[in-house]
Amino acid sequence: MSSADTQPTLPIPEDAVHAAAPAAAPRRRRGWIAWIIGFAIVVVLAVVAWFAGEAIARDLVTKTVREQVVTRLSLPADQQIDVEVAGAVLPQLIGGTIGEITVSSDDVPLKGLTGDVTVVAHDVPVRGDAPIGQASATVTVDEEELRTLMASVDGFPADTLILDEPDVAFTTELSFFGVQVPVAVSLTPTAADGDLVLSPAGIEVAGAEITADRLREQFGVVADVVLKDWTVCLAEYMPAAITVTGVEVVGEQLVADLDVDGAIVSDPALQASGTCA
């Protein structure tokens, strides 16, 4: 028997057992990494699907709004109309109400006139079976279009009309003992009962400023033609749901602020053109 055989058998130290055990750890780490990567991929796919769905929903809403505007307001089929929806569309569609929609178009035909129109609507029902919560609009016309409008007013010298911020102005002539005297009149635009009203704000005779009373003293009743308020009914140019609430000259354009009855989306009578008394 060798000396090695006579040596007692020693137990394996417990520390050595534990030192050999960690071989499986990397496998568990790889498992967690796989889970994390898999979760990340799912999140990315969900985000992509959301944005794809959002893009489709937004496109659907803008196309539907455009079609409804063209159809219900009898606009040309090729009318360029821009539609903007505020916020994410999908949640609003699910909720049944669009919080804010802005619709704008340039050179919109308005019964013989053309103007740039912008409408902002809030709380718009998706199904279109209830009134809009609130809506307002602006219509902008240039000098030429305003001349066309004022040409329909009896006695107004529309061919001399100009826009001179903040006023509308025109020139004419008054007869004074057989002599034609040039008169320039500045008019302040306002809205009253839905009509456009142009009221005298300043008068010049032969280049010199003069008061209304002085003009009457010199020209008598002849002066009434330049001292009167000029009232223009605008209802016939717009749907019955729209009322003019304010008017101002901005640069070389006349801008009208409008209030829109929210029931226009479902009431054919409000979609029809208004009438003048």
Residue 194 amino acid letter: G
Residue 92 has pLDDT above 50, yes or no: yes
What is the C-alpha to C-alpha distance for residues 206 and 159, in angstroms, rounded to an integer?
A: 19
**Rounded to two decimals, what is the model's pTM?**
0.78
pLDDT number for residue 224: 86
pLDDT tens digit sequence for 136-147: 999 999 999 999
Main-chain phi, psi angles of 104, to 5 degrees:
-140, 150
| Residues in contact with 73: Cβ distance below 8 Å, sequence separation at least 6, in sequence order | 239, 271
Main-chain phi, psi angles of 62, to 5 degrees:
-65, -40
Task: Give the DSSP per-residue string, 38-105.
Answer: HHHHHHHHHHHHHHHHHHHHHHHHHHHHHHHHHHHTT--TT---EEEE-S-HHHHHHHTEEEEEEEEE
pLDDT number for residue 20: 47
Structure tokens at 110: 């308005």
Q: What is the mean pLDDT of the segment spanning 70-82?
A: 86
Structure tokens at 192: 């009253």
Q: What is the mean pLDDT of the segment spanning 219-247?
A: 90
pLDDT number for residue 120: 94
Task: Give the DSSP per-residue string, 155-179.
Answer: T--GGG-EEETTEEEEEEEEEETTE
Share of the chain above pLDDT 90, in %: 45
